[in-house]
Copies of this chain bind each other. A is one copy, B any other.
Amino acid sequence: MAENKNTQLMEKIVSLAKRRGFIFQSSEIYGGINGFWDYGPYGARMKRAVEQLWWREMVETRDNVEGLDSTIICHPKVWKASGHLDQFSDEMCDCRECKARHRVDQMENPEVCPNCGSKDLTEPREFNLMMKTFVGPVFDEDHAAYLRAETCQPIFVDFHNVRVAARQKLPFGIAQIGKAFRNEINPRNFTFRSREFTQMEMEFFCDEAEGMEWYEYWKGQRIKYYREKLGFTDDFMKIHDHEKLAHYAKAALDIEVKFPFGWGELEGVHHRGTWDMSRHQEFSGQDMQYMDHDNKRKVMPTVIETSVGLDRTILALLCNAYDEDTAETQKEGKATDVRTVLRFPALVAPVQIAVLPLSKKLSESAKELYNDLNRHFRSEFDVTGSIGKRYRRQDEIGTPFCITYDFESAEDNSVTVRHRDSMQQERVNVTQLRSYIEERIGY
């Protein structure tokens, strides 16, 4: 029963996301392409807002974190050094009968083809999840290159270039936001497991002796961010400490959130030791150590990583925000109606303010107010339909403040601010409006 309800909830979210322009199937008119999703007008606004929030939080407000924006295609040796070329794979087998290919860990019976029932299967083989392409005029192994499977490797590779240019000393971090690609055999759960996605990663370089201290620091910072900026509460978010660690790792945890399809990883905080920098030193032949002039010794930097999925953050925000309640209606024969509302934090809502003239006659003055507010907040102007209908439209995309410009507004220089969650209304003077909204958004 609970599972049914969750499936239904997920369906509602996917449907709302499409209808209201958050997320579409990529290339839909061509039948779509599995595991690829486009962000529509409201989705793109929100993606930009969350991206900027993370960047502000992790780079702009910190003197010890620098930004980077590296290419998706790197030198193939980067992926040899990272281990992706040799180990980033799933076990697959082919059916000799129907030619279908299957992921072994997802077969109920690994000796029977789930497609045709044949038992004539090949031995399992490793299938690499990196997407391969060719750079240059010849398509052979010498010209093979890969779409990055994570955004962190170019950070390690560019460590010295960034350090020298930014005049940084240990400890300091490098952050970047960008696309990554994984040829998932079975993309699923809407945008949760997709083949093209955006990561926001920060690698913090420090002395080995301070590794655990910084790991705890970044763990704390990231949890604080989810609580204070994205409004995730303890029933929606949990920490999952890894019991099994990669051989090189010193500590690792996932920050998980409660999607309708179950708990899922949103962010990883990993103490990776000196593994990454040592590997790139080994494979590039370059000295990746840091010269500690104060203590007159070279150290191989230890890495603490915080790695978030931007698409998963948007999905988490959508799932956490989705709600239905009852609202007054003017529909015939009914006093109340089911209202769909996205309870986004105002900081990341795609539309923060909707300006709604009560009548088309008031459009001109209301538009002036809108133009002014739009310089400071993500704003929308809507004059079509009854005021109730317009409120409902804004509720559905999660607009926290609807501002109604009415026939008294010109006289008393005031407007009505209607709050999405409480549906309460307040009269506010136009001269105070900006600071009134700023306070409530929490800039």
- Chain A residues packing against B (C-beta within 8 Å): 18-21, 24, 26-45, 47-48, 55, 60-61, 63, 66-75, 77-78, 92, 101, 103, 127, 131-138, 145, 147, 154, 157-158, 160-162, 165-167, 176, 179, 181, 183, 185, 195-196, 280, 283-284, 286, 288, 374, 378, 381, 384
Contacts and interface: CB of A to CB of B under 8 A. Distances in A.
A26 B183 contact: no
Contacts of A286: 29
B33 A63 contact: no
A187 to B, nearest CB: 10
Contacts of A24: 158, 161
Which of A34, A38, A378 gathers most chain B CB within 10 Å? A38
Contacts of A39: 68-70
Nearest to A283: B30
B280 A29 contact: yes
Contacts of A158: 24, 28, 38, 40
A31 B75 contact: yes
A44 B74 contact: no
A13 to B, nearest CB: 15
B165 A21 contact: yes
A30 B40 CA distance: 38
Q: Which 8 A-B pairs have the closest CB atoms?
A: A21-B165, A27-B75, A39-B69, A30-B75, A38-B70, A44-B67, A44-B69, A29-B284
A36 B68 contact: no
A196 B38 contact: no
A69 B48 CA distance: 10
Contacts of A73: 26, 33, 36, 181, 195-196
B72 A179 contact: yes
A43 B162 CA distance: 11
Given A18-B165, A71-B196, 9 more contacts: A21-B162, A26-B73, A27-B75, A33-B135, A41-B162, A131-B135, A133-B133, A167-B384, A179-B179
Contacts of A378: 60
Contacts of A48: 55, 67
A322 to B, nearest CB: 17
A284 B131 CA distance: 26
Contact of A75 (B26, B66, B92, B161): B26
Contacts of A21: 66, 161-162, 165-166
Contacts of A63: 381
A45 B60 CA distance: 9
B70 A41 contact: no
A137 B127 contact: yes
Given A60-B374, A179-B179, A74 B131 contact: no
A74 B33 contact: yes
Given A38-B68, A154-B38, A158-B24, A75 B136 contact: no
Given A66-B41, A183-B135, A185-B137, A75 B165 contact: no
Contacts of A43: 69
A47 B55 CA distance: 13
Nearest to A81: B30
Given A24-B161, A68-B39, A131 B131 contact: no
B20 A165 contact: yes
A236 to B, nearest CB: 25
Nearest to A194: B71
Contacts of A165: 18-21, 40-42
Given A73-B196, A196-B73, A280-B29, A134 B183 contact: yes
A121 B270 CA distance: 54
A48 B280 CA distance: 29
A153 to B, nearest CB: 10
18 contacts: A21-B162, A21-B165, A24-B161, A26-B73, A28-B161, A30-B78, A30-B283, A33-B135, A33-B145, A37-B71, A38-B69, A38-B154, A41-B165, A42-B165, A71-B196, A92-B137, A136-B185, A137-B183
